[in-house]
Amino acid sequence: MLIPVQDLLKTVSPNQRCISATQAKLEIDQNHGLLIDVREPSEHAQGCATGAYNVPRGLLEFKMPELEKDPERPLYLHCAAGGRALFAAEQLTRLGYVNVNVITCKVDEVCKVF
């Protein structure tokens, strides 16, 4: 039996710290965390938040250890609407990153704040 994506998101979401773009911006300004855009490169090219690294969700496990070797550095993930970022946060937590945050608003709001 297939599990609907929305049901799967409901099981992943409570295990992740979800915040607004405004809160993420405040924190990054203080803790020098990384803003990660997990959308596809073509989406990122159409418009992106200033300072965001584009690491597509499909390559995250392979690229993040190269980009950030410190498992304690704060990471702030966003996508177009929050779903992919939630799944990405779950994977990064499995890899051993301990300070993973999900920006849950739409990408337009992320771009406006950053």
Largest CA distance in the chain: 45
Q: Is the dihedral of CA 101, 105, 107, 109 positive or negative?
A: negative
Domains of the chain: 5-113 (3.40.250.10)
Q: What is the pLDDT along the chain (114 residues), one digit of tens a residue?
A: 888 888 888 887 888 999 999 999 999 999 999 999 999 999 999 999 999 999 999 999 999 999 999 999 999 999 999 899 999 999 999 999 999 999 999 999 999 999
- Model-level pTM? 0.93
The amino acid sitting at 97 is Y
